[in-house]
Amino acid sequence: MQIDLSVRNITKKFKDFIAVKSVSFDVKDGQFFSILGPSGCGKTTLLRMIAGLTEPTEGVIEIRGKSMVGIPPNKRPVNLIFQQLALFPMMNVGENIAFGLFRRGEKKTIIKKKVETILERVELSGFENKKIDQLSGGQKQRVAIARCLVLEPAVLLLDEPLGALDLKLREQMKVELKKLQAKVGTTFVYITHDQSEALVMSDFVAVMNNGEFEQIDTPQNLYNNPKTPFVAQFVGDNNTWTGRIRQCDKYIAEIETDEGHLFRTKVEDAFQTGLSVDLFLRPEAMLIQPAPNIANLNRFKVIIKSILFDGANSQLLATRPDSKKELLVALPQNRQYDYIQVNDNIEIGWNEQSGICFPRKQLP
């Protein structure tokens, strides 16, 4: 498969602040590639460098095998969808979409045809003469996408375009964007701080922190096998413990947490006894009242502190009787656990394969 975008050792320094540190990645033709990171991690800077709006300090960006060094944004085969969409308020929808085509000097009749086709594709047929301020948030979104897609870019860059929408619309646009990408087959590079956007839409996700990529992987792998503590923490909900290795045989370690509890969990390496570790556990890895015959569970009693009802994402907030540490336990809404009340004493168990354990970074 053709590689549409290749970024190699790209670095950006602003005076004494390094926004992007030697980042490298490839995006294949037709992929939906997301860069996920907290605000201020350098992801927008990275995207702007790909678009050509910011000049990298070091490194090479290649688009379809052609180096982009010194090529201004108006000559690059990439288009950027801005966070605030940046639709031109002085033009109507049709003129907005035709803007790039006119700059290329295409014929008027062809432009008209292309605008019609692309509007049909984003399901806004007949909107040519509408003013921008007559559109709803979702419609503006689609006009912004159409304005870029009509130019048939090698790579479409999206800078948190769903950020300004309200929750309901955002959920809807997530699915729509994914479908649209599959339909048009353009390579998308999408940046976001919202993990659910990245996980739902992408083929590959790069998790970025402090200007560096922590892990590039499929959404499933990111969630199930995070390679760094940051990824484990940033992607998905977590229960976190800190503790020390008591003993470690091959890939199962016994950990004593700071609260004095013992857990058995799988580990990637044979860790030394006494090593400080962080232990992460997904809320859904904890089973409520597990059947006595299930083996290899870390079982313990907890007291329910509160029930956080949120539909399919409902959780229990619980503590062990002898500690104050609060645990998040997923509460499946299949009516099976409706009997659970606050202050109930129940048993919780988690499989030793579900734990994610990393050696603790030594604090300087």
Partner 1 sequence: MKHQKRWALFFFLTPVILWLFLLIVLPHIDLLIMSFRIENDAGEMVWSLSNYAQFFEEPIYWRTFVRTAVYSILVTFLTFVIALPVALYITKVVAPRFQGFLTLLLLLPFWVSELVRVYGWMILLRESGVINHFLIKLGILNRPVEMLYNDATMILGLIYTSMLFMIVPLIAVLESLDNSLIEAAYDLGANMWTILFKIIIPHATPGIVSGSIVVFMLTLGNYLTPNLMGGKNSLWFTEQIYNQFIASFNWNQGSAFGFLLLVLSSIVVWLGLKLTRQTLRTVVK
Which one, 21 or 130, has the nearer CB to partner 1?
130
Candidate segments 95-103, 125-133, 171-179, 210-218, binder of partner 1 by CB under 8 A: 95-103
Binding of partner 1 by 88 (CB under 8 A): yes
**Using CB under 8 A, which of the segments 66-74, 166-174, 195-203, 296-304 binds partner 1?**
66-74
> Per-residue x/- marks for partner 1, 19-58, CB under 8 A?
--------------------------------xxx-----
3-class DSSP state of 334: coil
SS percent in the chain: helix, strand, coil, step 5: 25, 35, 40
The dihedral over CA atoms of 266, 269, 270, 273, expressed in degrees to the nearest 10, equals -80
137 binds partner 1 (CB under 8 A): no
Query: Is 122 in a helix, a strand, or coil?
Result: coil
Q: Give me the least distance between CB of 104 and partner 1, in Å please.
A: 6
Pick 25 or 99: Cβ nearer partner 1: 99
Question: Is 90 a residue that touches partner 1 (CB under 8 A)?
Answer: yes
CB of 223 to partner 1, least distance (A): 33
Q: Least Å distance between CB 139 and partner 1?
A: 17
Please say which residue, 90 or 363, places its beta carbon nearer to partner 1: 90
Closer by beta carbon to partner 1, 92 or else 195: 92
Minimum distance of partner 1 from residue 73's CB (angstroms):
5
| Residue 28: its H or E element | strand 17-28
Residue identified by tokens 């099976």 is 336
Assess 117 for contact with partner 1 (CB under 8 A). no
Residue 107 found at the interface with partner 1 (CB under 8 A): no
Alpha-carbon span 321 to 304, nearest angstrom: 10
Classify residue 124 by its DSSP letter.
Answer: -
Task: Name the one range near partner 1 by CB under 8 A: 147-155, 262-270, 324-332, 345-353.
Answer: 147-155
The residues facing 279 across adjacent strands are 241, 357
Candidates 236, 217, 240, 212; CA nearest to 227 is: 217
Which residues fall within 8 angstroms of residue 225, CB to CB, at 6 or more apart? 217, 356
Question: Where does this chain touch partner 1 (CB under 8 A) — which range of 86-94, 167-175, 215-223, 323-331?
Answer: 86-94
Please provide the DSSP assignment of 32-47 as one string.
EEEEE--TTSSHHHHH
User: What SS3 class is residue 355?
Assistant: coil
How far, in Å, CA of 131 to CA of 62, rounded? Answer: 37
Of 7, 4, 75, 99, nearest to 45 by C-alpha is 7
Judged by CB under 8 A, does residue 151 bind partner 1?
Answer: yes
Q: Is 100 in the site for partner 1 (CB under 8 A)?
A: yes
Look at the alpha carbons of 320, 325, 326, 327 in this order and tell me if their dihedral is positive or negative.
Answer: negative
Among 73-81, 111-119, 160-168, 239-247, the segment contacting partner 1 (CB under 8 A): 73-81
Smallest gap from residue 193 Cβ to partner 1 (A): 18
Residue 138 burial by Cβ neighbours in a 10 Å radius (0-12, 13-18, 19+): middle
Decide: is 110 part of the binding site for partner 1 (CB under 8 A).
no
* Alpha-carbon 181 to chain mean position: 17
Among 119, 148, 207, 222, binds partner 1 (CB under 8 A): 148
Task: By CB under 8 A, name the binding residues for partner 1.
Answer: 51-53, 72-75, 79-80, 82-84, 86, 88-90, 99-100, 103-104, 147-148, 151
